[in-house]
Amino acid sequence: MPVNKQIVNAIRKSLSKFDFSKLEEKCTNEAQTRFILIEPLLEILGYSRIDDMTTEINAGWGKKNDKADIGLIINGKTPEIIIECKKFGKKLTDKEASQLNNYFINTKNTKCGILTNGIEWRVYFPNDSTKEDKLYEVPYLVLDFNSINDELLETLSKFHKNNIDIKELYSEAQDFYFLEGFSDALAHELSDPSDDFIKAIFNRMEGKRMTDQIKAKLKNLINSTTIQNALPFILENEAKNGNIIITTFEELKIYHAIKTTILSSLKKIDAERISYRDQKNSFNIIVDANNKKLIAKITSQRNKYFIEINGTKYEFNGIESVVVLKKQLLEISQQYLV
């Protein structure tokens, strides 16, 4: 759904005028929270209390007379979004989500459920993959009015009365729920590789002819050791291509080895003076949090790590590599520590 900048700006302007102060003393129960906080926020999203909000909706079954707090009318006369309101500051839990779900099940034509304490808004949809007519236990969205930023405003614009497309939101939710299963699927694939996965690796290796023997050997090679060996390369690529900084286990291991070597030789040195600063292209070991007081740089290429001291690079091949460099490390450290 494209962002409607006009609606985003209108929401931004209205929220800037909204008084979030003294909510704790004003919203002492659910009714006050709904009247002072929740309904006014819905009005900012274009919903009229008179025309677009229905309250105390019958959501009971059997002899129960349960009432859902608010129903939002998108089109026609029947609410398509049901909202369960809780007192300002109340922690939202699975118990409250289960209550919302019971209301959803027993309210005809609703497509979506929202659980809120006025500040935190949890948006739920059914999950098509479960083939059950109930809200999925994981919220599709969690909106937090403690932090009003561009991302929140753009998301809110999708729910504005003049912009909302409930079918598109439903579709987005299904994509979200589907992708939620990625980690489990990946773990199962790596623990029990399929023929397609093995074939993909075979093709990456530019294999010529797949035999049963080669396939069996490749399958055996997909294990925790080879996955761990590949991880530094993956992290390095993410750092380069994604413009993110990732501190690896290997970098920390080298850092602690260097720090221990220095502190064991230079007595009465405050250990806190030696720290590190991870940057995009290097992991710097420094003194007094000062980049100019550089003891060593740790860099990596493929699966290899290097320790750079005074412009000279040394390949890291285990802790013994640090021991070998003890003289160089002490010489440069003494300039800053002694």
In 3D space, the residue among 112, 121, 99, 106 whose CA is nearest the CA of residue 172 turns out to be: 112
Q: What is the DSSP string of 264-331?
A: HHSTT--GGGEEEEE-SS-EEEEETTEEEEEEEEEEEETTEEEEEETTEEEEE-SHHHHHHTHHHHHH
The CATH code of domain 5-179 reads 3.90.1570.30
**Which tokens sit at 151?**
């991302």
26 vs 33: CA distance, rounded Å: 8
Which pLDDT value is given to residue 295? Answer: 94
Q: Does residue 300 contact residue 232 with C-beta atoms inside 8 Å? A: yes
pTM over 0.75: no
Q: Does residue 332 contact residue 270 with C-beta atoms inside 8 Å? A: no
151 vs 135: CA distance, rounded Å: 25
For the chain, give every domain's residue range. Answer: 5-179, 249-337
| Cα angle, residue 319 at apex, residues 317 and 325 outer, rounded to 5° | 85
Any long-range contacts for 39-44 (C-beta under 8 Å, 24+ apart)? Answer: 39/70, 41/118, 41/145, 42/70, 42/72, 44/11, 44/14, 44/15, 44/18
Run means of pLDDT, 10 residues per run, the chain, 338 residues: 85 91 88 93 94 75 66 89 92 90 86 94 91 88 88 93 93 90 89 92 90 93 89 72 70 91 86 86 87 89 86 88 91 88
118 vs 91: CA distance, rounded Å: 11
Which pLDDT value is given to residue 244? Answer: 63
Half-sphere exposure of 218 (CA within 13 A, CB side): 20
